[in-house]
């Protein structure tokens, strides 16, 4: 599978959803936007105002890596954020 086709890869979509859910749970009261930049990265932005914004960029290689299971991704988010 080529990198561009990963944009519709169920594994990538599942990992993106895990990250969204995690950010929503950790940044209550913030808005959440995300933008794919396949095949390079996916950027998540949580914002409360124009003065208070946080960005998380996850590289596509990490999102599409089959060894990054949903459980492993949840554990990594819990340790690093």
Domain boundaries, the chain: 3-80
DSSP 26-51: HSTT-EEEEEEETTTEEEEEEEEETT
Predicted confidence at residue 5, as pLDDT, reads: 47
Is the separation of the CB atoms in 4 and 40 below 8 Å? no
Tokens of 43: 């950027």
Decide if pLDDT at 76 tops 90: no
Between CA 65 and CA 3 the distance in angstroms is 11
Tell if the pTM clears 0.95, that is, is over it: no
Quick: pLDDT tens for 24-56: 999 999 999 999 998 899 999 999 998 999 999
Predicted confidence at residue 67, as pLDDT, reads: 86
Question: What is the rounded average pLDDT for all residues in the chain?
Answer: 86
């Amino acid at each position: 599978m080529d990198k561009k086709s990963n944009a519709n890869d169920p594994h990538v979509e599942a990992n993106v959803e895990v990250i969204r859910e995690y950010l929503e749970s950790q940044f209550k009261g913030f808005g959440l936007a995300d933008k794919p930049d396949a095949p390079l990265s996916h950027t998540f932005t949580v914002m409360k105002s124009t003065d208070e914004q946080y960005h998380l960029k996850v590289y596509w290689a990490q999102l599409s890596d089959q060894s990054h299971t949903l459980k492993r991704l949840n554990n990594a988010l819990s340790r690093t954020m």
